[in-house]
Amino acid sequence: MSAPYPPSLTALIEEFEKMPGIGHKSAVRLAFHVMNVPEEKARRFAEAIMTARESVKLCGCCQNLTDTEVCPICSDPRRDRSLICVVESPKDLAAMEKTREYNGLYHVLHGCLSPIDGVGPDDIKIKELMPRLTGEVAEVIMATNPTVEGEATAMYLSRLIKPMGIKTTRIAHGIPVGGDIEFADEMTLARAMEGRREI
Amino acid sequence: MSAPYPPSLTALIEEFEKMPGIGHKSAVRLAFHVMNVPEEKARRFAEAIMTARESVKLCGCCQNLTDTEVCPICSDPRRDRSLICVVESPKDLAAMEKTREYNGLYHVLHGCLSPIDGVGPDDIKIKELMPRLTGEVAEVIMATNPTVEGEATAMYLSRLIKPMGIKTTRIAHGIPVGGDIEFADEMTLARAMEGRREI
């Protein structure tokens, strides 16, 4: 019996299968989609991949992904330059921006300290953060994830930054809005108690 | 507030979002995957798309997808040329090949008759089937899906082909192997009764 699909289609299916969360059936479905759309649309898709790879780089200042030398947030004169919010990834930054609550600057670490995985201070964008901490900066907000690694990264940075006379803060952890106390895990509940505020 | 991702990355996310079964979150995950793999791998992915689009065409004989003029099945001298199995799609053909039970040829209709969706006999590969029905062909097996449209297509073809003195058959429908009679739907059960054989 011969292979069910022509080699170039099989190659495309295999490329899709390499992607996270895409199994064999999804890969076949996606590859067939590419075969069925007008050729011009398939070309646009292929070009979008290469264009994104070629033009997206890291902002020279905050290390966020950008098409320009300095990202739109860092170059926006309306942003509060006295605040820097430290996040692990561009996705975290995007989530933060969606709240429309924060008007300061960011710094994207591209990871967090994880000795187990061999990720030390030199492997994430810490050395790019330090020169930004000039007199202009009043507060650095640690918005790393509430995981062991995220906490350790926040603590590590805080110990580096505090001696420079800059306030360091950590975002609050607690019961998510709309969440159920009954089903909250112990750690979250403990954090929620710890972070209680007078009303 | 600015857009969370640079335009070229947003464009790539939008391309992924156009694919079937890919929502916004998956599209972001896939686009970030493309950004994170080595550039060479991203290029290979983009090229796989265009190569598949450019080199895959329909077999001049059975209409299956192929990289060559005539597909490997049609040009295989070991296949039984007296049998033609009619399927709706290349995926159905691939499923049939996986069984390793069938050694005849195929014909891929690329759809089935569906007056509601405006799909008539001229919109699927029926006119490509007719010239194949030479003296060499003894039997045409209808392996269209057991849906209203699939059944109608099988009936339509059978009425065209039978007068040519060629046997037409329909694949059996019934309880799937390992399936539970208790939970089988009425239609399947009725078909299973209908298709009963002496043991």
Across the interface, do A97 and B49 touch by the CB < 8 Å criterion? no
Between CA A141 and CA A136 the distance in angstroms is 15
A1 pLDDT above the threshold of 60: no
A-chain CB neighbours of B1 within 8 Å are 97, 100
Question: pLDDT tens across A28-47, in order?
Answer: 999 999 998 999 999 999 99
Across the interface, do B15 and A48 touch by the CB < 8 Å criterion? yes
What value does the mean pLDDT take over residues A5-18? 94
Question: pLDDT tens across A84-139, in order?
Answer: 999 999 988 988 888 888 899 999 999 999 999 999 999 999 999 999 998 899 99
Across the interface, do A97 and B4 touch by the CB < 8 Å criterion? yes
Residues paired with B171 in a beta bridge:
none
Pair B30, A45: CB distance under 8 Å: no
Contacts from A150-153 at CB under 8 Å and sequence distance 24+?
A150/A88, A150/A112, A152/A112, A152/A113, A153/A88, A153/A109, A153/A112, A153/A113, A153/A124
Between CA B67 and CA B41 the distance in angstroms is 23
Across the interface, do B55 and A28 touch by the CB < 8 Å criterion? no
Q: Residue A189: how many CB atoms within 10 A of its CB?
A: 14
What pLDDT is recorded for position A172? Answer: 83
Question: pLDDT tens across B39-73, in order?
Answer: 999 999 999 999 999 999 999 999 999 999 999 99
A-chain CB neighbours of B94 within 8 Å are 4-5
- Using CA coordinates, name the residue in chain B closest to A15: B45
Amino acid at A77: P
Cβ–Cβ pairs < 8 A, chains A and B: 154
What pLDDT is recorded for position B1? Answer: 41
- Give the distance from residue A194's alpha carbon to the nearest chain B alpha carbon, in angstroms: 32
What pLDDT is recorded for position A198? Answer: 67
Give the residue among A102, A106, A101 at the shortest CA–CA distance from A86: A106
Across the interface, do B33 and A39 touch by the CB < 8 Å criterion? no
Which of B4, B42, B66 is opposite residue A49, by nearest beta carbon? B42
Domains of chain A: 7-55 (1.10.8.420), 78-194 (3.40.1360.10)
The CA-CA-CA angle for residues A190, A194, A199, to 5°, reads 120
- Using CA coordinates, name the residue in chain B closest to A46: B46
Question: pLDDT tens across A17-31, in order?
Answer: 999 999 999 999 999
- Give the distance from residue B92's alpha carbon to the nearest chain A alpha carbon, in angstroms: 10
Which of A5, A43, A44 is opposite residue B94, by nearest beta carbon? A5
Across the interface, do A11 and B48 touch by the CB < 8 Å criterion? yes
- Residues of chain B under the 70 pLDDT cut: 1-3, 198-199
Across the interface, do B35 and A52 touch by the CB < 8 Å criterion? yes
A49 pLDDT above the threshold of 80: yes
What pLDDT is recorded for position A130? Answer: 95
What pLDDT is recorded for position A199? Answer: 67
| Better-predicted residue by pLDDT, B99 or A11 | A11
Between CA A57 and CA B24 the distance in angstroms is 22
- Give the distance from residue A1's alpha carbon to the nearest chain B alpha carbon, in angstroms: 7
What pLDDT is recorded for position A102? Answer: 87
- Using CA coordinates, name the residue in chain B closest to A91: B4
Pair B42, A18: CB distance under 8 Å: no
